[in-house]
Amino acid sequence: MNDLARAIDFVPPPGWPAMSRAQCIERLTAPGERFEMETIDIRGVPTRVWKNAPANLRQVAQLARTHGKRAFAIYEDERVSYEGWFRAVARLAAELRSRGVEKGDRVALAMRNLPEWPVAFFAATTIGAICVPLNAWWTGPELAFGLANSGSKLLVCDAERWERIVPHRGDLPELETVFVSRGEAVGGERLEDIIGTPSDYDALPAAELPEVEIAPDDEATIFYTSGTTGQPKGALGTHRNLCTNIVSSAYNGAFAALRRGEEPPAPVQKVGLTVIPLFHVTACSAGLMGYAVAGHTMIFMHKWDPVKAFQLIESEKVNLTGGVPTIAWQLLEHPERANYDLSSLEAVAYGGAPAAPELVRKIHEEFGALPANGWGMTETMATVTGNSGEDYLNRPDSCGPPVAVADLKIVGDDGSELAPGEVGELWARGPMVVKGYWNRPEATAETFVDGWVRTGDLARLDEEGWCYIVDRAKDMIIRGGENIYSSEVENVLYDHPAVTDAALVGISHPTLGEEPAAVVHLAPGMTATEEELRDWVAARLAKFKVPVRITFIEDTLPRNANGKILKKDLGAFFA
C-alpha cells in the first residue's frame, strides 16, 4: 500500500483489488468485447487501436443525433436538444461549403463556452476541414498569431473575441470570411443570420451533412500549445485521435469496475457541468466527444463561480464535474456548500495539473463522489492514463496506468529505457498521439520519434505500470490547468526598455496550484515599478500569464557555469 494512501487514511475494501491490471486488460479487450483492440499501421508505426471506435467525427455527429430531444447543451436560460444541435451543424456545414471551405482548409473558432461552440466545431470537422480552436483568453495579437499561423480561411467567433481581432484584420490576408455571434459583426457577418439563436435550432429544417469521405487519420484539429521558446505551436490532430478518447474514457470506467469486483456498468446518460474551456483538449477531446456519443448533457457557465455551480448542481441534478484541481478545491472549501443539495454528484474528475493527495480524500469524504484524474497533453489529444475510485485513493500521487491501446516508457539522459521506479523523461505512444506540429518540421522531429511523443515531463512507473509525474523537464508553470511557459513571459519583460535580466518562477497557491512571479534586474539608471511591468505584460499576453508579484534585485540573476539562471534559488524571494 502506498505511504500517501496511509496518510489520507485509505483502507482498501475487503478483497480489493478483485483483478490485477493484466487480468482487467485481458478481460476487457478480449475478441468480441467492447474494448477489443487491433494493430494497424499509422504513419509507418504498428499501433494498437480500439476496434470499435468511431471512424471519424461524421460518425460521432450521426451517433449523437440519435439522442433526439435529449438536452445536448444548457447555457443560462438556453437549452439545445441533440436534434436541434445536429440541424444547426448540418446548416452551418452546408454554409461553409458554399463559402468555398474544402477538405483540409482551416476554420478557426474563438469564443467562450457557448452552445454555438460545438456547432461550429462539428460543422467544420464533419466536412473534412481542420478546426482551429483558439484560446479565448488570448489578447488580440495572440489571436491574430493563431489565425495567421494556421492560415485560417474562415473564422467563427463571439463578439468579445472579434473586438480583439478587428484591429489586426489587415494582417490576415488569408482570412476570407468571419461569422460573429452575440453582438456587433462590423466587418463580419452575423452567425445568427445563418443558423439563428440556440433557441431556434430545433425549428431549423431537418438536413443531412454534406457528403465527404473522411479517413480516420485525416487531419481534424489544430490545438495550440504554449511554446517553450517563442511562439505557440499548433498540435495537428486527426479524427482517430479524437475518436480514441471516446473509448479510452469508457475503458477507464470499466477498468475501475472490474478492479472493484463489479461488472462494467451499462452506459447511462448523465448531466455534466463543463467548467473548463472547450478550446482545451481536456474539455473538447476528453469531454465533448464522449458526451456526444453517450448522450450526456453539457452545462456551460458564462464564467466560473462556485455558488452558481452549487445552484446548477442542485437544480440540474449534475452527476459529473471537475476539470482541474482548482475547481474541486473551490467546491469543497466554499462556505456556502452546505446550503445546497449536491447529492447527485457521482464523480469529480480532473487533469491538467498535479493534485494534492488530500484533495482525493476530501472529494470522497465530503461529496461521497469518486475522485478521478488522468494524464495527457495537447500532443496526445488528452487521455493517456486514468486513475479513479479505490485505485486513486490507494495511489493518490499517481495519474494511473495507460489505457490498453497506449504505452509509456521512462527514458534516461543517455536515451536508454529505465527500470520501474527510476525517474526520467516520460515518453508516450498510441493512437491518441497527434501527427506533429503545424508547419514546424524541426520541432516535430525533435518531439515525435517513431510513434512516441517526448512529453518533457519527468516521471517514474511502478512495477504494475502506474505512472507518477515527478517534475517538469520543460520550464513551465501550471496555473489552474493553464500552461505558462516562462520564456514567453520573460521575453515580454525583456522587451521593456528598463529590464536587462528577468526570470519567471512558480509560487505555490492553495487552489490554483501555482501562480507566476518574476524576479527582475533593471538597467543602471533606469526605473520601473511592479505595477508598470505588470501592465506591460498584460497589454501583450493573456491575463493568466501576468506575474502576480514582481520583485527587483540589484544584481543580475544567479547563473550556473553554462549561463542558465538558477531558478530553484529564486523561490526564496517570495517565501
The Cα–Cα gap between 513 and 477 comes to 9
Q: Determine the 3-state secondary structure of 400 from DSSP.
A: strand
- The answer to whether the CB of 104 falls within 8 A of the CB of 125 is no
Q: How far is CA 67 from CA 9, 84, 87, 293, in A?
A: 42, 11, 13, 9
Q: What is the pLDDT of residue 353?
A: 62
The Cα–Cα gap between 230 and 533 comes to 20
**Contacts with 83 (C-beta within 8 Å, 6 or more apart), sequence order:** 65, 68, 69, 202
Residue 228 confidence (pLDDT) above 70: no
Tens-digit pLDDT profile for residues 26-63 = 999 999 999 999 999 999 999 999 999 999 999 999 99
Residue 562 confidence (pLDDT) above 60: no
Please list, residue by residue across 424-457, b when 16 or more beta carbons sit within 10 angstroms of its beta carbon and e when fewer do. bbbbbbbbbbbbbbbebeebbeebbeebbbbbbb
Cell of residue 524, nine digits:
543602471
- The answer to whether the CB of 368 falls within 8 A of the CB of 19 is no
**Higher confidence at residue 364 or residue 104?**
104
Is the peptide bond prior to 17 cis by the omega test (within 30 degrees of 0)?
A: yes
Tens-digit pLDDT profile for residues 397-422 = 899 999 999 999 999 999 999 999 99
> Percent of the chain, pLDDT > 70?
97
Q: What is the pLDDT of residue 572?
A: 87
Residue 12 confidence (pLDDT) above 80: yes
Q: What is the pLDDT of residue 380?
A: 97
Cell of residue 134, nine digits:
483558439
As a whole number, mean pLDDT of residues 175-180 equals 98
Q: 323: phi > 0 → left, psi -120 to 50 → alpha, else beta; which?
A: left
- Number of Cβ within a 10 Å radius of residue 549: 15
- The answer to whether the CB of 380 falls within 8 A of the CB of 448 is no
- Number of Cβ within a 10 Å radius of residue 374: 26
Residue 205 confidence (pLDDT) above 90: yes
Residue 227 confidence (pLDDT) above 60: no
Q: How far is CA 412 from the centre of its chain?
A: 27
The Cα–Cα gap between 409 and 459 comes to 9
Q: What is the pLDDT of residue 472?
A: 67
Q: Among the listed ranges 165-169, 301-305, 448-452, 492-496, which one has the minimum average pLDDT value?
A: 492-496
Q: What is the pLDDT of residue 473?
A: 63
The Cα–Cα gap between 471 and 429 comes to 20
pLDDT band at 172 (very low <50, low <70, confident <90, very high): very high
Q: What is the pLDDT of residue 560?
A: 64
Count, in order, helices (H) and strands (E) of the chain. Answer: 18, 30
Tell me the whole-structure pTM to 2 decimals.
0.89
Residue 561 confidence (pLDDT) above 60: no
Residue 84 confidence (pLDDT) above 70: yes
Q: What is the pLDDT of residue 547?
A: 97
The Cα–Cα gap between 122 and 210 comes to 12
Q: What is the pLDDT of residue 352?
A: 65
DSSP letter assigned to residue 206:
P
- The answer to whether the CB of 289 falls within 8 A of the CB of 264 is no
Tens-digit pLDDT profile for residues 444-480 = 999 999 999 999 888 999 999 999 988 766 678 889 8
Of the candidates 527, 519, 496, 515, the one whose C-alpha atom is nearest the C-alpha of residue 568 is 519
Q: What is the pLDDT of residue 308?
A: 97
Of the candidates 475, 492, 482, 458, the one whose C-alpha atom is nearest the C-alpha of residue 567 is 475
**Higher confidence at residue 359 or residue 316?**
316
Q: What angle do CA 528, 533, 535 make, to 5 degrees?
A: 130
Question: Which residues on adjacent β-strands are paired with residue 284?
Answer: none
As a whole number, mean pLDDT of residues 2-7 equals 75
Tens-digit pLDDT profile for residues 315-336 = 999 999 988 777 888 888 888 9
Of the candidates 450, 453, 440, the one whose C-alpha atom is nearest the C-alpha of residue 44 is 450
**Contacts with 287 (C-beta within 8 Å, 6 or more apart), sequence order:** 272, 274, 276, 278, 298
- Give me the half-sphere count of Cα atoms (radius 13 Å) on the Cβ side of residue 105: 19
**Contacts with 527 (C-beta within 8 Å, 6 or more apart), sequence order:** 498
Domains and CATH numbers, the chain: 3-53+236-472 (3.40.50.12780), 76-214 (3.40.50.980), 476-574 (3.30.300.30)
- Provide the strand spans (E) within 134-283: 154-158, 177-181, 189-190, 219-225, 233-238, 271-274
